[in-house]
Structures are given as C-alpha cells and as structure tokens.
Amino acid sequence: MKESILSLTYDELKTELVNLGQPKYRAEQIYYELHNGKQLNEISNIPQTLKQTLLETYQDNTIEIIKVQKSTDGTQKFLYKLADDNLIEGVLMQYKFGYTLCVSSQVGCRMGCKFCASGLDGLVRSLQAGEIMGQVIVANKYLAGTVKERKVTNIVLMGSGEPLDNYNNVLKFLNLATNKYGLYYAERNISLSTCGLVSNIIKLADSGYKINICLSLHASNNEVRKNIMNVAKGYEISEVINACKYYFEKTGRRILFEYILIDNVNSSKQNALELAKLIKGLNCIVNLINLNEVKENNFKRCSPDTQKTFAETLKEKGINVTTRRSLGNDIDGACGQLRRRFIKEQN
Ligand code: SAH
C-alpha cells in the first residue's frame, strides 16, 4: 500500500516539490487544500503532470465515511473505510466550544484489555500518520468546516488501537495536526489515551509536544490490573504512576486517569481508598467511566450507589473526580462495537 500524501509533513512536502522543480509556495498551497478536505486530484490550480507524478508515489486521501450513526444526545459515530478497505471508527462529540473528534490509531488492537471490543480480534495493522490526520480532515469536511473555519476543535486519540503502540506515526501525526499551514491545532487541544506503555510515555514526555495524556488505569493495584489488562503484566502499576509524574514534570499537563467502574472487579470502597493513596500528590484528575457492556464478555456495570460511594470516597481523600457523561449509548458507543457489528452484518 502506498503512503498517504497526507503523511508528508509540510517540510517533507516542500522538499519533495522543490526536488520536482516546483516553486516553494506550491507546498503551502497543496498542504492547505489537502487539509481543507480536497483530494490532490481536486486541486484545480496545480499542474496536471505534477499531480500525476505525486500520485505515482503517494495515494490521495481516500478515507471515506461510509456510515454515520446519530445518537439522540448529539453524538455521531462514523465508520470510515480506508484505501485498503479496512474499517475504523470515529466518534464526534458536540460541546459548547465545538466538536471533539475521537480518532483511531490502529485497525484493531493488540493490547487485549478484557473489557474492550477493539482488541477482540487482535491487531490488523497500524495506521499511517496521514490516515490519522485523514480522519480529522474528513470529519471536519463532513461538518462543512475548512482550514479557516475549523469545526472539529479538539482531537482525542482514544478510538481503536493503542496510540503508543504506533509511536512514530502518532508523533508524525502531531506534527501534521499542529502545522500552521494546515488545520493548525494547538497542542493543548489534542489528547492521547494510553493503556500505559511506560517507555513510550517517557519518550512522549521528552518529545517536546505538550499534549494531554489520559491514562487508562482501571485498577488500584497490580493484581486487579493484571486480571483485566495484559499490559499490566509488562509494567507494574507503580511504574505507570511514575511515568505519569515524569510526564507532568516535563510538560506541565495535568494527567487524566480513566477508570472504568466494573461491578465486583475494581469498584469497592477499598479500591477507591487504595486508588487515592496510589495517586496522592500527583496533579491529576480521575475520570470515572461507566462500563459500556459488550456482549462478548461478562463484565457488568456498577449500581449507581456503588458509583457514588466510589466517587465520594475519592473526593473525601482530596482527589479531583469527574464522571464521564455517557454519550452515544444508543449507537454502539463502546470502542470497536460498531465496526464489529458492521463486519458481521456484511458477512
Ligand atoms: N488504547 C488506548 C485508547 C483506546 S481505548 C487506551 O487504552 O487508553 C479508549 C478508552 O475506552 C480507554 O480508556 C479504554 O479503557 C476505554 N474502554 C474500552 N472498552 C470500554 C468499555 N467496554 N466500556 C467503557 N470504556 C471502555
């Protein structure tokens, strides 16, 4: 499969074009129009021969939204088709300030978290940087946004896949998304959710990008974490917390811990006390998430009382707590559910 034209950073595109004997402004022009949602072939004021030459090496942004599900709460879920016919999902959430788009970093996932539908069939492949950027561009276009008038205001790398398992492409995506000739996102408007690949959290902290990190913690001790997340077999929970401390020290970005409350697994008062102790002193916030039940496993949601006790216990210990507004419950909101159902219906 060819590399997406969108994978070229602005500097790479400029070098490529100058090597092809093109004037320097050409890079600006092409980068801008690609981020506006045009395909290379649709940009009218560049030479036809140049388009042909570029398309011998690169593929156009052919990511396509093939299905949209709208929730009663305003959330929309996309099913995107990639150039090689693989499918990925995206979720668009509407807020007062604009739209947040949740993008995928891989087709499938190899992390194998027990509660998650994305990883049930393992990893198919990692996405190219341009395919991650492509999702943002296509969603922005779908909302009738442009480079000048962006509709998608925030990006979260929280769709299917483990972004830090596709580190180089994700880092390149950050370059693409923050370039001033394109959609030009501020680093503070980009978040990345990880199950906790410690060595790459450290690398990201040292990368110079100051994006927000969301850490899928989901447990208050090693034992529980190992039971529900394979990644915990490679990294102790204390190592994960230390990596978060390091990330905060380097970037000044407050850490957001994601914690799915699962009945009889991680949601007792004792767990809340243990969690408070574990993260004490760290500049962080705990985001409690209601489990999205998936039919492929037996995990169950907690009762509202259990949720309340858990949240109150953390608060009493001085921890900042928010409860995630559960969006899109009626549209297969949980990771990987829409893609799985669609693939099953096709077969
Ligand atoms: N691999 C990354 C990002 C993708 S998952 C990560 O692990 O963070 C995005 C978030 O959805 C994670 O916090 C993940 O734990 C959570 N999630 C997965 N399955 C879920 C489910 N069934 N119900 C609620 N949240 C779920």
Q: pLDDT tens for residues 268-317?
A: 999 999 999 999 999 999 999 999 888 888 899 999 999 999 999 999 99
State if residue 140 touches ligand 1 by the CB under 6 angstroms criterion. no
Q: How far is the CA of 85 from the centre of ligand 1 (A)?
A: 24
Catalytic annotation on 89?
A: yes
State if residue 216 touches ligand 1 by the CB under 6 angstroms criterion. yes
C-alpha pair distances (Å), 152 with each of 148, 149, 163, 183, 208? 12, 9, 20, 9, 24
State if residue 332 touches ligand 1 by the CB under 6 angstroms criterion. no
Is pLDDT at 347 greater than 50 in this prediction? Answer: no
Catalytic annotation on 335?
A: yes
Report pLDDT for 332. 56
Residue nearest atom 3 of ligand 1, based on CA coordinates: 158
List CB contacts of 117: < 8 A, sequence separation 6 or more: 294, 296, 334, 335, 336, 337, 340
Report pLDDT for 334. 54
**Ligand 1 pocket, mutate which of 88, 107, 113 (most atoms under 8 A from CB):** 113
Report pLDDT for 74. 84
Report pLDDT for 337. 56
**Dist CA 174 CA 198 (whole Å):** 19
DSSP 262-331: -TTTT-SHHHHHHHHHHHTTSSEEEEEEE----TTS---PPPHHHHHHHHHHHHHTT--EEE-----GGG
State if residue 291 touches ligand 1 by the CB under 6 angstroms criterion. yes
At residue 137, φ and ψ (nearest 5 deg) are: -65, -45
Mean pLDDT of 130-157: 97
State if residue 288 touches ligand 1 by the CB under 6 angstroms criterion. no
Q: How far is the CA of 209 from the centre of ligand 1 (A)?
A: 23
Quick one: which of 219, 210, 253 has its CA closest to 238?
Answer: 219
**Ligand 1 pocket, mutate which of 111, 216, 235 (most atoms under 8 A from CB):** 216
Q: What's the chain's average pLDDT? A: 93
* pTM for the whole structure: 0.95
Lowest mean pLDDT among 18-22, 205-209, 312-316, 339-343: 339-343
State if residue 158 touches ligand 1 by the CB under 6 angstroms criterion. yes
Output 255 or 72, whichever has higher pLDDT.
Answer: 255
Tell me the CB-side half-sphere exposure of residue 93, using CA atoms within 13 A: 16
Per the residue annotation, which of 16, 89, 162, 258 is the catalytic one? 89
Helix (H) or strand (E) holding 213: strand 212-216
Percent pLDDT > 90 in the chain is 85
State if residue 120 touches ligand 1 by the CB under 6 angstroms criterion. no
For the CA atoms of 28, 34, 36, 39, the dihedral, rounded to the nearest 10 degrees, stands at 140
In ligand 1, which atom is closest to the CA atom of 157?
3
Q: What pLDDT digit, counting tens, does each position of 39-65 carry? A: 999 999 899 999 999 999 999 988 999
Helices and strands, counts by H and E, the chain? 11, 14
Pair 302, 272: CB distance under 8 Å: no
3-state DSSP percent of the chain in helix, strand and coil, to 5: 40, 20, 40
**Dist CA 2 CA 12 (whole Å):** 16
Is pLDDT at 340 greater than 80 in this prediction? Answer: no
Q: What tokens were used for 314?
A: 């953390």
Q: How far is the CA of 169 from the centre of ligand 1 (A)?
A: 20
Q: What pLDDT digit, counting tens, does each position of 189-198 carry? A: 999 999 999 9
Measure CA of the first residue to CA of the last residue in the chain; give whole Å. Answer: 24
Pair 257, 215: CB distance under 8 Å: yes
Q: What tokens were used for 317?
A: 């210990």
